[in-house]
Amino acid sequence: MEALLGAGLPAEICAVVSNNPAARGLATASARGIATAAVDHRAHSSREAFDAALAAALDACRPDLVVLAGFMRILTPAFVGRYAGRMVNIHPSLLPSFPGLHTHRQALSAGVRIHGCTVHFVTAQVDAGPIIAQAAVPVFPEDGEEALAARVLKAEHRLYPAALALLAEGKVRMEGGRTVYASFPVKGGPAETILSPDPVSANSDIEALARFTP
């Protein structure tokens, strides 16, 4: 969330809402003059009651787009349907591979050589909405979860603002359960094929592989 606040998005960030009243992001947003609200899930008797209160807090600022950033609660189908096509999330894997939690552990266990992150529309099925954009990073033999997570996070901070800019500018939308682009923003170029290990440059860094895709 903090990375998005400083990304210079072509949109107004009207509010930051968290289910954790002590979240550092609330203080960060408030210091920037952005409206904040805390909707504590522990104060509600059911998931449906919490989602209704969360929707009320969001609707107070009439958002065109709801952006999840570090929000770890599963939302009810009714809440997701309320913002269908207007709510997006970023997931730390190249979906549909490794949905859910512990994605870096899953990637290392599977032995993949390329990992990454995905921006997608939110649907009722967790981590299964139409994909908007992806970025890939290499997985090195010496990687542990912490090193791989840091490399993916660097890619996330590039990918999410780029994807949100497309949405804010009306260049991408969800239609009929699929992602539709006004025009596909990237074609061809030297990174059209990503190899890892790279036989040309075995020491290539994230900058050679992490790429805004589409």
> What pTM, to 2 d.p., does this model score?
0.90
Dihedral class, residue 33 (left if φ above 0, else alpha if ψ from -120 to 50, else beta): left
Task: Parse the chain into domains and list their residue ranges.
Answer: 1-70, 84-214
> Which residues are known to be catalytic?
91
- pLDDT tens track for 10-47: 999 999 999 999 999 999 999 999 999 999 999 999 99
**Pairing verdict, β 114-121 and 35-38:** unpaired
Its CATH architecture, for the domain 84-214, is: 3-Layer(aba) Sandwich (3.40)
pLDDT, tens digit, 9 for 90 and up, residues 51-86? 999 999 999 999 999 999 999 999 999 999 999 999
- Stretch (H or E) spanning 4: helix 2-5
Residue 179 banded pLDDT, cuts 50, 70, 90: very high
**CA separation for the pair 119, 75 (Å, rounded):** 17
pLDDT-based confidence at residue 207 (cuts at 50, 70, 90) = very low
Distance CA 15, CA 38 (A): 11
Please check the confidence at residue 199 and state whether its pLDDT lies above 80.
Answer: no
What percent of the chain stands above pLDDT 70?
A: 86
The residue among 199 and 178 whose pLDDT is bigger is 178
CA-to-CA distance for 172 and 163, rounded, in angstroms? 9
208 vs 51: CA distance, rounded Å? 41
Q: How confident is the model at residue 191 (pLDDT cuts 50, 70, 90)?
A: low
Angle (CA) 135-164-32 rounded to 5° is 115
CA 40 to chain centre: 22
Of 29, 85, 82, the C-alpha closest to 51 is: 82
Over the Cα atoms of the chain, what is R_g? 18
Give the relative orientation of helices 103-110 and 145-168 as an angle to the nearest 10 degrees.
120
Q: Round to whole Å and give the CA distance between 113 and 188.
A: 22
pLDDT at 185 over 80: no
DSSP letter, residue 64: S
